Amino acid sequence: MTQHRFGGHWTEAKLSVLGHYLGAFSTALKGKGFQLRYIDAFAGSGKFVPIRGDGRERLGSAQIALTVSGFHRYHFIEMKPRRCKALRQLAEMQPHKGIEVHEGDANQHLAEICRSTGWRGTRAVLFLDPYGMQVEWQTLEAVASTGAIDVWYLFPLSGVTRQLALNQDKLDDDKRRSLDRVLGTRTWREAFYAEEPTGDLFGAAPAVERHADSLAIETWVTARLRTLFPLVEGPLVLRLGRHGKLDSGPPLFGLYFLAANKSPAAQRAARSIATDIMGRLKKQAGIR
């Protein structure tokens, strides 16, 4: 099979956060009587080779999750048939693990998993690791409504910023629609853009320009996620730094931790684990 090549130094950072969280989550919920699930909505093939690096194959999120004990079921969602085939081979090699491979769009399969699961006795960790702007706000609504899923969401800060053209005239309908889908509202238009006085004596319409920079966009996205999830931590901003550095360069992704559970005790436990893991990675990688 051809190798799945993607990512860079930020890929290892997000996967390290995921691996540590899964271990701590399964330990914290051990013996509490819940069925534990791991949902990988953009599962890949289980392995990857970073675009920059030594060319060696690494374990992807699906295989990392399989190394963590304590989970009773795994949902691997993936669009590409070739990658699904590799995931099914993983499932065949470990039939006792309860692995289900869902071929197709993450939004559709996630909505179905959220709808068809009895969440009272189930807790899950969901990894949202898209290349770009594939996660729809409606999907986040379905996830939040379960009250039982902890999420690591690699939010596409650079993808969204790129779509938000500096001049509003340059925002075509496709861009507007994809921003509406990801952000779940049309209010970003007023939040990010304002009329610029032209000083034109002949009555030309004033230009509508984006005043929000990437930090303002990130802050707005964080507030928006807080309207849906009772607990939002992060983002850990992963940047396209030179020489493998995560602390400089333009922001690529914001890694958020979101918890759907409304119980204060569950939130305290999840917050403590998630912030500890993010804090350690920040220190190690010198991330702000």
48 binds ligand SAM (CB under 6 A): yes
Name the residue nearer to ligand SAM (CB basis): 139 or 261: 139
The stretch among 27-35, 40-48, 86-94, 222-230 that binds ligand SAM (CB under 6 A) is 40-48
CA–CA distance, 197 with 273 (Å, rounded to integer) = 49
DSSP state string for 50-101: -SSSS---EE-HHHHHHTSTT--EEEEEES-HHHHHHHHHHHHH-GGG-EEE
Footprint (CB under 6 A) of ligand SAM, residues 159-178: none
Count residues binding ligand SAM (CB under 6 A).
Answer: 19
- CB within 8 Å of 124: residues ≥ 6 apart: 36, 37, 38, 39, 117, 146, 148, 149, 150
Q: Which of 13, 86, 87, 134 binds ligand SAM (CB under 6 A)?
A: 134
Nearby residues of 175 by Cβ (< 8 Å), 6 or more positions away: 163, 165
The helix or strand, by DSSP H or E, that contains position 277, with its residue range, turns out to be helix 264-285
Task: Write down the least CB distance from residue 85 to ligand SAM, Å.
Answer: 12
Query: From the CB of 38, what's the least distance to ligand SAM, in Å?
Result: 12
Which stretch, 128-136, 140-148, 208-216, 269-277, contacts ligand SAM (CB under 6 A)?
Answer: 128-136
DSSP characters over 204-255: PPPEEEE---HHHHHHHHHHHHHTT-SEEEEEEEEE--GGG-SSSSSEEEEE
Binding mask 62-91 for ligand SAM (x = CB under 6 A): ---------------xxxx--x--------
Half-sphere exposure (CA, 13 Å, Cβ side) for 159? 16
Determine the interface stretch with ligand SAM among 43-51, 182-190, 233-241, 261-269 (rule: CB under 6 A).
Answer: 43-51
Q: How far apart are CA 181 and CA 209, in angstroms?
A: 22
Q: Measured from the CB of residue 201, what is the shortest distance to ligand SAM in angstroms? A: 50
Residue of the chain from 44, 184, 241, 251 that contacts ligand SAM (CB under 6 A): 44
Q: Does 61 bind ligand SAM (CB under 6 A)?
A: yes
Complex with ligand SAM: residue 38 or 193, whichever CB lies closer: 38
Q: Which residues bind ligand SAM (CB under 6 A)?
A: 6, 15, 42-44, 48, 60-61, 77-80, 83, 105-106, 129-131, 134
